[in-house]
Each structure stands twice: as C-alpha cells, then as structure tokens.
Structure 1
Amino acid sequence: MYIPSQITDAHHHLWDLSYCHYPWLMERGVKRFFGDPAPIQRDYLVEDLRADFADLPVTKSVHVQVGVALEDSLKETRWLQTSADKGGLPNAIVAFADLCADDLGAVLDQHSECTAFRGVRQIVGRSAEEDAKSGTNTLLSNPKFAEGLRELANRGLSFDLQLTPPLMEGAAQVLSQIDGLKVALCHAGSPSDLSPSGTKQWLSGLAKLAEIPGLMCKLSGFGMFDHDWSRPYAQMLIEPAIELFGPLRIAFGSNFPVDKLYKPYSETMGTYLEIVQGFTPAEIDAMFAGNADRFYLI
C-alpha cells in the first residue's frame, strides 16, 4: 500500500479543560449528535495527538475550533498558538468568530495576531435537534453573515463550512456570490441520512458546492454518523466526493479526538488510505497533504 512520506491532518481538535471553558465538554451525562462524549471529556493535548498518530507520518495539522465558550474564543486561539510554538502543532488554526457581529473586524484583528491563524469556522448546521436549540441554520438567510464572509475573503482568510445536507443548496447560493473566498467543507457535508432520499439530497447538495471554484471538500468525521463504520461505508461517501471535486480539491482529516470514540487513529486514516489506492502517488500525496498545505498556507 502506498503511504505518503508526509501526512497533514486537515481536521482535528485539542483542548485544555483548565485553560478554556468548553460547555459541551464540561456538561456531563448529555449525549450529542455524534454520541456519548464521556470518554473524551478530559484534556487532549499535542502530546496526546502525537501518541495517537502511532506509526503514520503525520507532520502537519489543522486545528478547527471546538465549541469553546464565546468569551474564550480568542483565548483558545492564543493557547493553540502557544501549543504550536512549543509543540510544533497545529500549523494552522481555524478559530471561531461570529461573522454577524458588529465588531467582527476588531475580533479578526486580534485573532490575526497569532501567526498560525488562517480562518474561521462558524457552524451552520450540526443536527436538526441541536440546530433547533442554537438557531445556527438561520445564518444563511442573514445578510450580515454574507457580509462577514466577504470580510474573510477581503482579508485572505478561509471559512470552514460545517452544515447538513438540507442546507447545502442554500449555502451554495450564498457562497457563489462571494468572490475570492476559500471554503473548506467539513466532514463532506455531514451525510447522516443515507436512505435513498437522504443520499440523493446529499449528492445533489455536494454537486452544487463542487461548482464553487474555491471550495475544497474535507473527508473526515465518518464515525459521528455511523459509530460502527466500516470501509464499505466510508467508500460509499469518499468515492462520490472525490469524483465531484477531483483529487486536487480533497483533504483528509481525522476529526480526533471525537472520532477516537469509535476507531484508533491508525485504523481511521489507514482505511482512508486503503480506499484511495487506485489513485496515483501524486494524487494521494495531494489528498493527504498537499491540498491542505496549499489551502491553509502551511
């Protein structure tokens, strides 16, 4: 099996529960859309991530914000920058910022003081139940959200798009009107409903998003929707995504430690590598490192 000499994990998380407040990690006994978080409700630091790499040659990584309390968003970015300076990871930080906020410019200025800061994730959709509580799926119809996305584009910052398939077409309409914005689709659009109608909706939405030139698809997080996922399950999602986006607009991520709930790192990324063995070494190198490096400027 061909394994790249260097791998960039395009989507993972770290946290220090004594440094920042993470409401969902502090709240005990509550199951989330991805399952029971109890086993990961403890610190997860760079040394823990490196230990999970095992023998895989992961040399760079992209950290995506992880539901820190709003007032600690900047604190999280600064902590991650310290981690990068001391431990070598992460190489890119995707932080939280409210793109609808009146002080967005000032907030982005503060995040930009950290040299690894590359962009923003403001979650548009998690699951129907959680979206009903948070109201995040109304962002797409908010003109200030589009203004915030334009501000990111003007600054050369990227946007990590996390949403669910029913929101994909609406997102494509919004994003297609914003020139120059780099967008990374998280978790292939979170396809949780793989009934015939659900799969059709996901593929249709994915095709719409693939029409946007600056949009890259990150393949990760499969354990969140099928806790016993297998290679055939992942293959059923990975192959159409690569077909739509092409191997130069695909990046693989572990979604650790969330996906650690279901499989070890070596099995997670190893299965992804097995699935893409039909591609050339150059294409595999791109999907497992080069594309993320170029997108996040690392």
Structure 2
Amino acid sequence: MIDAHHHLWDLAAVHYPWLSAKGVSRFFGDPSPIQRNYLLPEFRAEAAALGITGSVHIQVGAEDPLAEAKWVQSVAEANPGWPLVQVVHCDLTAPDLAQQLDVMAALPTVRGVRQIVGRAPGEDAQTGTNALLDDPRFLEGLLQLSERGLSFDLQLIPELMEKTARVLAQAPRTNVALCHAGSPHDRSPEGLGEWRQRLRWLSDLPHVWCKLSGLGMFQHRWTVEDFRPIIETCLDQFGADRCMFGSNFPVDSLYSDYETLLRAHEKLVPDSQRSQVFAETAAGFYKF
C-alpha cells in the first residue's frame, strides 16, 4: 500500500515561512498544532501500522525548494527500508527553469513537480497563482517536464478546471496528478454538483489522474458519508486505474487520526478496486 500524498518537515533543516508564521489562519484552518517537526518516524509509525509500505512526499512551501528536495533525498537514503519518492517545487515560468529541472531531476527520488495553481478563493485572490494559466511560459514548463519524464501535481479549485483543461490538453505527454480531488470547497449539494460537472473537463483527459486526498481541508468535522459523493464521483469519472489514496498528513491530522482517515476511504472504495486505489495506481504513476 502506498500513501500518494503526504508531507514531512524538519524546521531546523529547512525554512518554511508558513510554518514559522504565528497567528495566521489558513484556508484549511489553524495550522498551529502542526507548526512543529513532522518527521518520517512519526509518519511511518502511523501509516505502517495500517499496511502502508511506501509513500510520496509532496513539496510544502519551503523558502528554498532545492534545500527541501535535498533534505527529502537524505531522508530517503537514511531509510532504505521505506520506499520514498518526492514531488518538488519549481516555478514553471522561471527563465532558468531548464537548469532548475536538471538539478532536481538528478536527485534519484524526484518524480515530478508541483506548482500550486489554486488553493482556495480567498487565498488565491492574495497570491495571484491563478494567473499561471494565462502565462504561456507555464505551458512551456509543462512541456519541459515531459521531456525529462517528470509528472505534474496539480492543485486548483473547481472554478479553474475548464481553463486548466485547455492548457493541459496542449501537453498530452505530461502526466498530471490532480491533488485533493480538485478541492471541492463548497460542500453544499449545489456546490458538489458544480464541482462534478467541472471535474469532467479534467477526467476526460487521459493523461490526468486523481488523488483521493485532502478531503478534510474544507470540511473539518467530516463523516464517512460526507466523503462518499466525492470519492464515488472520482472513481466513476477517472476509474480506479487513475485514482490513488493520499493522506495529506500532517495537514489532515488537524481533523482526524490516520486510521480514521484511511478506514473512511477504504469503506468507500469497492473491494474490487482497492488494490488499484491504495497501491497499483500510485506505484505506476510515481514509478516505484
């Protein structure tokens, strides 16, 4: 079993501005309980007890993305009994992108890049990351990823799916992992209906996969039934061969423990699809 989306951090080794900022609420809530070291032994103890045997580390806002990538590489090398690969951050619009990618790709654990397009409406208005979709350099960067055999982790909100799909359609050789099921932030029946319709723009692209992850970020006091329409829609639109489980720990640890989260996903994924969702899809996508 593979956890296809989690984070680690050592605050003494790498600087993360958002983890040092005090009293700042984020779109996913109050981060103060996780503004501490979160290292592989802690994550592994929870995950391995439930059958997880490997994982994908996703970049998480380090001030120096290369320093973060090198640190994750060192963690992987120090723990050969735990298969660990990583998705790093690069600005796909940077003038020296080719050089950045060459340096990152030289690290044996690197499988892809994440540059966040959208987090939540409020934060997006401040960060301006939505503008990436109108920048021709962003598409050029996506094309450079496929040239190096790297994938792209896509985080965005439903309102951006149609425009994003038009960009991704021009880079059909770059495999894309949609983070957090596309962040359905409006959990009303109407909101989920709009997310479901917009999701089709992405699920219709054969080079886009979907992560069943981060579902607690927009609904903290969730139940299994709250997740049902999201997980069932993703399985219906993408198929189990393009869906993979991710815990989004430690961020989603703000709302539940690891076992509660994993069991909720297991309950909603049919038995016949579990081997794909919890192992095979991620193993193939991230080249374990």
Q: Does 1:24 align with 2:18?
A: yes
Where do residues 1-298 of structure 1 align in structure 2 (5 Å cutoff)? 7-53=1-47, 55-69=49-63, 72-88=64-80, 89=82, 91-276=84-269, 278-280=270-272, 283-298=273-288
* TM-score of the two chains, using structure 1 as the length reference: 0.94
Report the aligned-residue RMSD: 1.1
1:8-58 CA-to-partner distances (Å, cap 9, x unmatched) read 000000001111110110001111000000100000010010122262111
* Same amino acid, percent of matched pairs: 50
Q: Any conservation in 1 of the 2:53–2:83 contact (CA below 8 Å)?
A: no
Give the distance between the partners of 1:216 and 1:13, measured in 2 at CA. 20
Structure 1 residue 134: deviation in Å? 1.1
Runs of 4+ in 1 over 4 A off after TM superposition: none
Unaligned runs of 5+ residues in structure 2 are none
Question: Which AA in structure 1 matches 2:69?
Answer: T
Q: Any conservation in 1 of the 2:216–2:222 contact (CA below 8 Å)?
A: yes
SS in 1 for 2:201: helix
CA 1:36–1:218: 2 relative to 1, 3 Å:
same
Give the distance between the partners of 1:145 and 1:265, measured in 2 at CA. 35
Question: Which AA in structure 1 matches 2:214?
Answer: G
1:245-287 CA-to-partner distances (Å, cap 9, x unmatched) read 01110000000000001110011011101111x341xx21111
Give the distance between the partners of 1:207 and 1:146, measured in 2 at CA. 21
Give the distance between the partners of 2:158 and 2:186, measured in 1 at CA. 9
Give the distance between the partners of 1:90 and 1:18, measured in 2 at CA. 24
